[in-house]
Amino acid sequence: MINQTEQTDVVVIGAGPSGALVSALLRQRGWHVVVLEGQHFPRFSIGESLLPQCMAYLSEAGMDDVVDKHAEELGFQFKNGAAFHYQGTDTAIDFTDKFSAGRGTTYQVKRAAFDKLLADTAQAQGVEIRYGHRVEALQEHDEHIELSVASEQQSYRLQARFVLDASGFGRVLPRLLELERRSSLPTRTAYFCHINDHISAANFDRNKILISVHPQHRDIWYWLIPFADGSASLGVVGEPEYFDEALSEQQNLWRLVGQEPNLAALLDSAQAITDTQRLGGYSADVSRLYGRRYALLGNAGEFLDPVFSSGVTIALKSASLAAPVVDGFLRGEKVDFDKDFAQPLKQGVECFKTFVLAWYDGRFQDVIFYPQQRSDVRRMISAILAGYAWDETNPYVAQSERRLDVLATLCNMEAQ
């Protein structure tokens, strides 16, 4: 039974990274912000290997210093790059040696602790977060949006002058407003869990995510994300036909791990410490990223693929772009959400998408594993993999598809 109607300036749906950041930025600008989070923190989430560019966006709300301060006690693993393995060949990208200016290191985090830290920081800055509150319906009006909200104790209406959807895979507004659109990327499935890795190999670098490629099927890949406490996140990604529906999630994961000799050897003493989970059909898109009184942040708008850990970076970028535009809108200024929010956000997303597509069709793998890389080109690629996909001074950002296609062709020709 709905028994009351409340009013606020801004409602943010979801208290994950983009929700915590955008709510803190808007609170700093003087607005009353209510965050509605359907779950209770801490809670599990994937997307555990951050990119250095994330830290620049967190710095806008003073959250980068908070993450640095609490990294050791929360077991965040220092990260300075990415390692790759395919058919006995190893290579690595050093994020501190990159084309774009800015931080070159970050962390590999257990998202339960990381997300709670950001949300707690937003609360300390004056943001109101309501856990266990779910948006069930909405009505758009000229002067506000009215949300129907349900919690364990009550149902109520909440009127806001603006609504930001940071609900991630929950995709609340895309569902309620029928904005969902089929992704241009093929349907893929991920199986993943946390392990005590017990890795003893002397050449294993815990400061980097390890991305391994299946020796026979180059469109199957694995992530291994070490944490500071000796545990790790392990996952495999492939199209559905590579997995056996007759097997359990755990069996599917470890069957594929056993097919990659280097990874299997690294993890010969590993022990699972969480149940294996399955996430299918995760790539998503929408018909539009904003309306008159709403905007979509992060995964609520478009999610590409986990291969380059771009999800949290895109989410934080969307929050960084949205905050000043929403602030101007609430102040009655003439704002352009397309020019100042949607278009610049899509610019970096399209850059990432170019590299994702080239990873799965093999072109970017040819580049990554090419043995005689030019140092200047390598630094440009490093910048993008470090999250600096909005730096248009980088030729591989400004002309992603053309540059990468030419580079891959050259690498492939010289390798033959």
- Band the pLDDT of 236: cuts 50, 70, 90: very high
Q: Is the pLDDT of residue 297 over 60?
A: yes
- Band the pLDDT of 276: cuts 50, 70, 90: very high
Q: Which three-class secondary structure state does DSSP give residue 171? A: coil
pLDDT for 124 equals: 98
pLDDT for 1 equals: 46
CATH domain 189-280 topology: D-Amino Acid Oxidase; Chain A, domain 2 (3.30.9)
CA-based torsion, 301, 304, 305, 307: positive or negative:
negative
Specify the residue for token string 């996952």: 235
> What distance in Å separates the CA atoms of residue 120 and residue 123, rounded to the nearest whole number?
5
Which residue, 10, 366, 27, 414, is CA-closest to 213?
366
pLDDT in tens, 340-387: 999 999 999 999 999 999 999 999 999 999 998 899 999 999 999 999
Cβ partners under 8 Å of residue 88, min gap 6: 262
Amino acid, single-letter form, for residue 138: L
Do the Cβ atoms of 385 and 358 come closer than 8 Å? no
Domain ranges of the chain: 2-78+102-182+283-347, 189-280, 364-415
> What distance in Å separates the CA atoms of residue 313 and residue 348, rounded to the nearest whole number?
10
Query: What would be the CATH architecture of the domain defined by 2-78+102-182+283-347?
Result: 3-Layer(bba) Sandwich (3.50)
Q: Taking each helix axis from N to C terminus, what angle separates 63-70 and 111-124, rounded to the nearest 10 degrees? A: 130
Cβ partners under 8 Å of residue 270, min gap 6: 195, 196, 197, 198, 199, 232, 234
Do the Cβ atoms of 236 and 191 come closer than 8 Å? yes
Q: Note the maximum CA span of the chain.
A: 72
Structure tokens at 83: 């390692």
Q: What is the DSSP letter of 136?
A: E
Burial 225-254 (b: 16+ CB within 10 A, else e): bbbbeebbbbbbbbeeebbeeeeeeeebbb
Q: How many CA atoms lie within 13 A of 109 on its CB side?
A: 29
Q: Which three-class secondary structure state does DSSP give residue 380? A: helix
Which residue, 296, 290, 292, is CA-closest to 145?
292
Which residue, 111, 110, 130, 112, is CA-closest to 122?
130
More confident residue, 66 or 152: 66
Which residue, 37, 57, 359, is CA-closest to 212?
359
Do the Cβ atoms of 306 and 190 come closer than 8 Å? yes
Do the Cβ atoms of 260 and 215 come closer than 8 Å? yes
> What distance in Å separates the CA atoms of residue 110 and residue 99, rounded to the nearest whole number?
29
Backbone angles phi, psi at 390, to 5 degrees: -110, 5
pLDDT in tens, 185-217: 788 999 999 999 999 999 999 999 999 999 999
pTM: 0.95
**Highest-confidence segment of 204-208, 303-307, 412-416:** 204-208
CA-based torsion, 146, 150, 153, 155: positive or negative:
positive
pLDDT for 300 equals: 79
Q: How far apart are the first and last CA of the chain?
A: 70
> What distance in Å separates the CA atoms of residue 228 and residue 283, rounded to the nearest whole number?
30
Specify the residue for token string 């093999």: 362
Structure tokens at 410: 């050259």
pLDDT in tens, 33-52: 999 999 999 999 989 999 99
> What distance in Å separates the CA atoms of residue 116 and residue 402, rounded to the nearest whole number?
41
Q: Is the pLDDT of residue 119 over 90?
A: yes
pLDDT for 416 equals: 59
Structure tokens at 26: 């808007």
pLDDT for 26 equals: 98
DSSP codes of every residue in 101-116: -S---EEE--HHHHHH
Strands 285-286 and 180-181: antiparallel
